[in-house]
Amino acid sequence: MNTQIRLLKADEIDELVNLFNVVFQKAYYGYPMSKEKFLQRLNNPNFYKRALVISSIDKIGGFILANTAKRKSKWYTTNKGYISLIMIHPEFRRKGFGKALIEEALNFLKKKGVEKVQIGFNPLTFWPGIDLNWDKAISFFKKLGFKEKRMSASMVANLETLKVPEKILEREKKLNKNKIFIRPYLKNDREVLLNFIKKNFTYGWYEEVKSKIQKVKVGFTGYGLNLNTLYNPKSVFVLLKEEKIIGFSMFSENFEKKELGHFGPIGIQKDFRGRGIGSALLFKTLKEMKDRGMLKADLWTDYGGYQAKRYYPKAGFKVVKKWMEMALSY
Ligand SMILES: CC(C)(COP(=O)(O)OP(=O)(O)OC[C@H]1O[C@@H](n2cnc3c(N)ncnc32)[C@H](O)[C@@H]1OP(=O)(O)O)[C@@H](O)C(=O)NCCC(=O)NCCS
């Protein structure tokens, strides 16, 4: 094969999108990929990128996208790099092309001064990690020195069959007696809610909640079934104890496929956890999604915790995908 590694050309996007759909046809998320969604990732102005192809006489045999943030921000440090996507056409596998692409990408990232290269969730990636079913991909990265870091899961619940258990309805009444109420988010809650998140949860959540309490179409979110997500303040609940916020939950709609919804995040103030309040809020939110016409809810969470093992399954959520985050440190 007469092949070379070179920079991606602007007129090759259609072929690249086709390659994506050949390589990831069995993938659950992001398939089929459209040109628009692909370009959104490729051209994010906040990141440096190296987009390389394996080019042969008649086709593109592979692609890699490596990124690092241009500026330090609340979200990103400039000492981290990302392999946002790598794909090799089936006919070009086991010939050393994947390794060659990674080496080129790592050279680029090293020159940019990164100390750590991650494969997993970032604003440009197409998935929150490597699908655990792609064990060949995991072995490939291990061979190149990447280590397994964190496992996360995508879970899905069927809302058509969702029934709020009698026990939960009773629990909500009991909570009300104790002056704990769930109500829809109102505009005036904004500041108090954001302060609550800042105090009780991570910075990532603060940013996520901040963007989700405004009405905005966000396109490809990367971790949900929702490839066309509508954030909406009407999709937020707050949990109050004597008018003080002690918890919240939210979801987003898919503006193309109305039957799909993305759940989360949800959180309860630490000293109120483990008393059944979270379950009441979870069911209330899912019931609202169902009432709005959604048939399925999906979410993304850590795989190892009680959330994936005990909490979400109570509402019918089942793990549909497991993802492995990997990293290489210098
Ligand atoms: C997840 C969260 C919202 C659950 O709220 P909660 O009020 O603590 O949950 P509940 O008391 O209703 O518990 C529901 C079930 O979850 C499981 N569970 C809850 N906390 C648990 C814990 N610490 N360890 C093990 N299981 C637990 C139990 O199975 C429980 O049911 P049971 O009481 O019948 O056994 C809350 O723990 C929280 O805010 N955690 C931090 C934020 C977070 O992780 N959010 C989800 C991220 S994807």
SS (H, E, C) 249-277: EEEEEECCCCCEEEEEEEEECHHHCCCCH
d(CA 276, CA 65): 44
Task: Please give the number of the atom of ligand 1 that sits closest to the Cα of 274.
Answer: 11
Task: Please give the number of the atom of ligand 1 that sits closest to the Cα of 269.
Answer: 39
Question: Cα(195) to centroid of ligand 1, in Å?
Answer: 22
Predicted confidence (pLDDT) at residue 153 exceeds the cutoff of 60: yes
Quick one: 86 exposed, middle or buried, by C-beta within 10 A (0-12, 13-18, 19+)? Answer: buried
Q: What is the pLDDT averaged over residues 168-181? A: 96
User: Could you tell me if 115 and 329 are in contact, meaning their C-beta atoms sit under 8 angstroms apart?
Assistant: yes
Residue nearest to atom 22 of ligand 1 (CA): 306
Closest-CA residue to 330 (of 81, 120, 31): 81
Ligand 1 pocket, residue 330 CB under 6 Å: no
Question: Cα(239) to centroid of ligand 1, in Å?
Answer: 15
Can you tell me whether residue 47 is helix, strand or coil? strand
For 149, half-sphere exposure in the C-beta direction (CA atoms, 13 angstrom radius) is 17
Across 141-155, 201-215, 244-258, the highest mean pLDDT is recorded for 141-155
Q: Which of 151, 223, 268 to mutate to test the pocket of ligand 1 (most atoms within 8 A of CB)?
A: 268
Mean predicted lDDT score pLDDT of the chain: 92
pLDDT level of residue 297 (50, 70, 90 thresholds): very high
Predicted confidence (pLDDT) at residue 218 exceeds the cutoff of 80: no
Predicted confidence (pLDDT) at residue 221 exceeds the cutoff of 70: no
> What's the pLDDT tens digit per position in 69-125?
999 876 678 999 999 999 999 999 999 999 999 999 999 999 999 999 999 877 777
Q: Which of 311, 314, 319 to mutate to test the pocket of ligand 1 (most atoms within 8 A of CB)?
A: 311
Q: Percentage of the chain surpassing pLDDT 90?
A: 76
d(CA 55, CA 18): 15
Residue 115's CATH number: 3.40.630.30
Ligand 1 pocket, residue 310 CB under 6 Å: yes
Question: Cα(13) to centroid of ligand 1, in Å?
Answer: 44
Ligand 1 pocket, residue 311 CB under 6 Å: yes
What is residue 301's predicted lDDT score, i.e. its pLDDT?
Answer: 93
Q: How many CB atoms lie within 10 A of CB 243?
A: 8
> Residue 135 falls within a domain, yes or no?
no
Closest-CA residue to 127 (of 311, 278, 322): 322
On whether both 317 and 204 belong to a single domain, the answer is yes
On whether both 69 and 13 belong to a single domain, the answer is yes
Q: What is the pLDDT averaged over residues 307-324? A: 95
Question: Cα(81) to centroid of ligand 1, in Å?
Answer: 34
Question: Cα(274) to centroid of ligand 1, in Å?
Answer: 6
Closest-CA residue to 267 (of 284, 250, 252, 283): 250
pLDDT level of residue 1 (50, 70, 90 thresholds): low
Ligand 1 pocket, residue 28 CB under 6 Å: no
Residue nearest to atom 24 of ligand 1 (CA): 306
Rg (CA), the chain: 22
User: Could you tell me if 168 and 280 are in contact, meaning their C-beta atoms sit under 8 angstroms apart?
Assistant: yes
> Residue 327 falls within a domain, yes or no?
no
What is residue 220's predicted lDDT score, i.e. its pLDDT?
Answer: 57
> Residue 199 falls within a domain, yes or no?
yes
Range of the domain at 17: 4-126
What is residue 130's predicted lDDT score, i.e. its pLDDT?
Answer: 92
What is residue 32's predicted lDDT score, i.e. its pLDDT?
Answer: 78
User: Could you tell me if 134 and 326 are in contact, meaning their C-beta atoms sit under 8 angstroms apart?
Assistant: no
Question: Cα(310) to centroid of ligand 1, in Å?
Answer: 8
> What's the pLDDT tens digit per position in 22-60?
998 866 666 778 898 889 889 988 899 999 999 999 999
On whether both 122 and 162 belong to a single domain, the answer is no
On whether both 179 and 54 belong to a single domain, the answer is no
What are residue 63's DSSP bridge partners?
53, 87
Going from the C-alpha of 311 to that of each of 44, 108, 240, 267, 278, the distances in angstroms are 36, 43, 21, 12, 9
> Residue 134 falls within a domain, yes or no?
no
Q: Percentage of the chain surpassing pLDDT 70?
A: 94
> Residue 213 falls within a domain, yes or no?
yes
Name the helix (H) or strand (E) containing 91: none
On whether both 160 and 302 belong to a single domain, the answer is yes
Specify the amino acid at residue 263. F
> Based on the structure, what is the number of domains in the chain?
2
Residue nearest to atom 41 of ligand 1 (CA): 267
What is residue 314's predicted lDDT score, i.e. its pLDDT?
Answer: 96
> Of 126, 142, 172, which marks where a domain is finished?
126
Q: What is the pLDDT averaged over residues 272-301? A: 96
Residue whose structure tokens are 């092309």: 97
Residue whose structure tokens are 């991909």: 137
Ligand 1 pocket, residue 277 CB under 6 Å: yes
Q: Which of 279, 283, 302 to mutate to test the pocket of ligand 1 (most atoms within 8 A of CB)?
A: 279
Ligand 1 pocket, residue 309 CB under 6 Å: no
User: Could you tell me if 217 and 227 are in contact, meaning their C-beta atoms sit under 8 angstroms apart?
Assistant: no
Specify the amino acid at residue 248. F
On whether both 190 and 305 belong to a single domain, the answer is yes
What is residue 219's predicted lDDT score, i.e. its pLDDT?
Answer: 64
